[in-house]
Chain A
């Protein structure tokens, strides 16, 4: 097996996550798809670290994980706050700025 095959998996996962963000209406599932994209990017980082014999890729993936954790905390708090006022977790409903 070519060690670069992980990159194909990473790009497929990234694509699936991107499509999910565009297709789904539930804010929590949209968020999960964002996490999927971050994870795919991490896999690419780790694979490049492995291919190039360089530890830096792993360190960057580590920082991505930290940022993702912080992002999840704030994002889910926003979803809960919106749910409290609008009683809905759909991304179509918060449209007050539309008109």
Chain B
């Protein structure tokens, strides 16, 4: 009803938003910027992914605040739902034990990049600051013409932008096929059976038996605690390779008989 009233009258130019929206903006906008910075500076990529999800959720709230209800929900469903889950899946496949190297391959590249970033940011903010905005018209008038928010978006997609929409479907199919082709692995040799694996293990004779379980004779039974060998030294073979590469191995050996320092938690490098 409000839409109809607005449509019949002159479009209302809103030069200032409501107090509630202003409060929400001034709380969420710094949060969005800070979490975006944390995406860039987090050492571990999983932390980056979490901060990225927070930034995306805040952007979804911004969309809702600006009356783009459809996009706000799509942002949550597609970005924080699908895209971030995809990122976390790939992180589990790839990046969890791959720590980011801090060695600069190009000298001074980091400072140059930050300098360029400051320049770009200054340029963008300065350019926006130069413009005089007449205030927000709001999309309610345009939506009222079509009979509602969703109707207006649907009308635009299926009439004005119908060709872009059709091309989008081709793009999505290409992306799906491309991902399948890239992720596909050709089996060069027939898959080894358990019998063949066992024979191979005995043939090279290095370690025919299963590896020792972690922490069997130590004071902890956590997977990061190495097993003790009869002479009191620790067995590296008892720690899973991914934990070893992350440096998450706990101290063991004879020192394990002393009070265990719980602050020496693994994982930090």
| Given A26-B45, A61-B68: A15 touches B121 (CB 8 Å cut-off) | yes
| Given A13-B33, A13-B36, A33-B40: A39 touches B79 (CB 8 Å cut-off) | yes
Q: Are A8 and B117 neighbours in the complex by a CB distance under 8 Å?
A: no
Instruction: Please tell me the size bucket of the interface on A.
Output: 35 or more
Q: Are A12 and B171 neighbours in the complex by a CB distance under 8 Å?
A: no
Contact residues of B between 1 and 44, Cβ < 8 Å to A: 11, 14-17, 21-22, 25-26, 29, 32-33, 36-37, 39-40, 42
Contact residues of A between 27 and 71, Cβ < 8 Å to B: 28-29, 31-33, 35-36, 39, 42-43, 46-47, 49-56, 58-59, 61-63, 65-71
CB distance from B80 to the nearest CB of A (A): 11
Q: How far is the CA of A69 from the CA of B183 in the complex (A)?
A: 17
Q: Which residues of A contact B67 (CB under 8 A)?
A: 50
Q: Are A25 and B74 neighbours in the complex by a CB distance under 8 Å?
A: no
Q: Please pick, from B40, B87, B168, B174, the residue contacting A31 in the complex, using a CB distance under 8 A.
A: B87
Q: Which residues of A contact B136 (CB under 8 A)?
A: 3-4, 50-51, 53
Q: How far is the CA of A17 from the CA of B71 in the complex (A)?
A: 21
CB distance from B139 to the nearest CB of A (A): 6
Q: Please pick, from B71, B98, B176, the residue contacting A89 in the complex, using a CB distance under 8 A.
A: B98
- Encoded as 1 (CB less than 8 Å from any A CB) or 0, chain B from 56 to 73 comes to 100100110011101100
Residue of B nearest to A4 (CB): B133
Q: Which residues of B contact A50 (CB under 8 A)?
A: 66-68, 136-139
Q: How far is the CA of A90 from the CA of B100 in the complex (A)?
A: 7
Q: Are B40 and A35 neighbours in the complex by a CB distance under 8 Å?
A: no
Q: Which residues of B contact A81 (CB under 8 A)?
A: 182-183
Q: Are B11 and A6 neighbours in the complex by a CB distance under 8 Å?
A: no
CB distance from A38 to the nearest CB of B (A): 9
| Given A19-B114, A22-B117, A77-B182: A9 touches B49 (CB 8 Å cut-off) | no
| Given A11-B125, A29-B100, A53-B141: A36 touches B179 (CB 8 Å cut-off) | no
Q: Is B206 an interface residue (CB 8 A)?
A: no
CB distance from B179 to the nearest CB of A (A): 4
Q: How far is the CA of A36 from the CA of B55 in the complex (A)?
A: 8
Q: Are A66 and B172 neighbours in the complex by a CB distance under 8 Å?
A: yes
Q: Are A59 and B153 neighbours in the complex by a CB distance under 8 Å?
A: yes
CB distance from A54 to the nearest CB of B (A): 6
Stretch of B105-113, B223-231, B260-268 on the interface side = B105-113
A residues contacting B by CB (< 8 A) are: 1-9, 11-20, 22-26, 28-29, 31-33, 35-36, 39, 42-43, 46-47, 49-56, 58-59, 61-63, 65-74, 76-81, 83-84, 88-90, 92
B residues contacting A by CB (< 8 A) are: 11, 14-17, 21-22, 25-26, 29, 32-33, 36-37, 39-40, 42, 45, 48-49, 52, 55-56, 59, 62-63, 66-68, 70-71, 74-75, 78-79, 82-83, 86-87, 90-91, 93-95, 98, 100-101, 105, 109-110, 113-114, 116-117, 120-121, 124-125, 128, 131, 133, 135-143, 146, 152-153, 156-157, 160-161, 164, 168, 171-172, 174-176, 178-179, 182-183, 185
Return 26 A-B CB contacts under 8 Å, by A number.
Answer: A2-B15, A3-B133, A6-B25, A8-B125, A12-B36, A13-B36, A18-B116, A23-B114, A24-B100, A26-B45, A26-B98, A28-B45, A32-B39, A32-B87, A35-B79, A50-B66, A50-B68, A53-B139, A53-B141, A54-B139, A55-B153, A59-B161, A62-B74, A71-B175, A73-B178, A89-B95
